[in-house]
Amino acid sequence: MTKSSLDGKVALVTGSGRGVGAVIARELARRGAAVAVNYRGSAAGAAAVVQDIEQAGGRAFAVQADATDQASVEAMIAEVTERLGPIDLLVLNATGFADVLRGPATKHSVEQLADSMVAQFKASMVPVYAALPSMTARRTGHVIYISDTFPRKVVHSGLGHALPKVPVEAAMKYLALELGPDNVRFNTVVCGAIRSAALERATSDPAVTQKVKEYIAQIPLGRVAEPEEIANAVAVLAGDDLSYLTGVFLPVAGGNLII
Ligand SMILES: NC(=O)c1ccc[n+]([C@@H]2O[C@H](COP(=O)([O-])OP(=O)(O)OC[C@H]3O[C@@H](n4cnc5c(N)ncnc54)[C@H](OP(=O)(O)O)[C@@H]3O)[C@@H](O)[C@H]2O)c1
């Protein structure tokens, strides 16, 4: 077993029945992790991800849960623990590009902005708080949050993307500090634009096409990320080679966020 292998690890990826989460789940499994593929509504997508993993010789199962709902998340964690073992790696991917409030800041009411922020905060923090007791008891655990460049890279019409990520990023910092002594680590992958169905829809909408094209043109690498490039970053971060990292924010943005 090489150090970068994920053999023997149990991973739960929230919202991995489609989109970037599905690619992350496949990549973690390809590197040897047993993977719980969480979905909210995408049952067929989750089943397809599990089938792909099993056909490639890996271990996975699909588990339905709304990540914002405590009872549903607690039941999911219990099921993952029973079927695969205690969770070593929790990837917070749920809530995505498709659900984001789009347009200029003043297009949205305060209520809409606050509701979106609370929903996305819960979709990350409910799974974290439910997974933590087992991680602290075992004195091992790793949480990886999938964030976005928009809190740091301010662009027109980006508030709906940025706002929900900010409180989760704050929590990742405080949890890294306070749970370090329990050997539970918290790291964040800060993604730039990723090739995705939602991005393709945006580029086919004449009202936003030009803005999106200009945005992509100014990315130093001149292109959006492939979802596999995000999944590789998560998988490398999850491996034992980088075991001394916690509280890290890793931009995977083609140079579009230089910190
Ligand atoms: N796409 C991009 O360009 C981009 C850029 C930067 C960062 N990101 C980040 O990357 C992550 C994935 O993005 P994406 O483009 O793949 O998003 P997406 O296509 O909108 O997919 C969102 C995923 O989250 C799940 N989800 C949403 N709410 C949920 C809930 N309450 N409980 C459980 N699952 C829930 C959905 O599950 P169901 O379908 O089962 O409901 C779906 O699998 C997100 O955190 C996003 O902010 C994306």
Is residue 63's pLDDT more than 90?
Answer: yes
State pLDDT tens for residues 210-223. 888 888 999 999 99
pLDDT at position 222: 95
State pLDDT tens for residues 179-196. 999 999 999 999 999 998
Q: Is the pTM of this model over 0.95?
A: yes
How large a percentage of the chain has pLDDT more than 70?
A: 98
Best residue among 12, 14, 16, 20 to mutate for probing ligand 1's pocket (most ligand atoms within 8 Å of CB) is 20
More confident residue, 66 or 204: 66
- Measured distance CA(207)–CA(45) in Å, rounded: 30
Largest CA distance in the chain: 53
How large a percentage of the chain has pLDDT more than 90?
A: 86
pLDDT at position 208: 73
- Measured distance CA(212)–CA(195) in Å, rounded: 12
What is the phi/psi pair of residue 215, to 5°?
Answer: -60, -45
Assess whether the C-beta atom of 191 lies below 6 angstroms from ligand 1: yes
Nearest residue by C-alpha to atom 5 in ligand 1: 193
Please check whether residue 128 is in contact with residue 120, taking contact to mean a CB–CB distance below 8 angstroms.
no
- Measured distance CA(161)–CA(227) in Å, rounded: 18
State pLDDT tens for residues 69-103. 999 999 999 999 999 999 999 999 998 777 889 88
Listed by start position, the domains of the chain span 10-194+226-252
Looking at the domain 10-194+226-252, which fold is it? Rossmann fold (3.40.50)
Best residue among 116, 128, 196, 219 to mutate for probing ligand 1's pocket (most ligand atoms within 8 Å of CB) is 196
The band of 2, judged by pLDDT with boundaries at 50, 70 and 90, is low
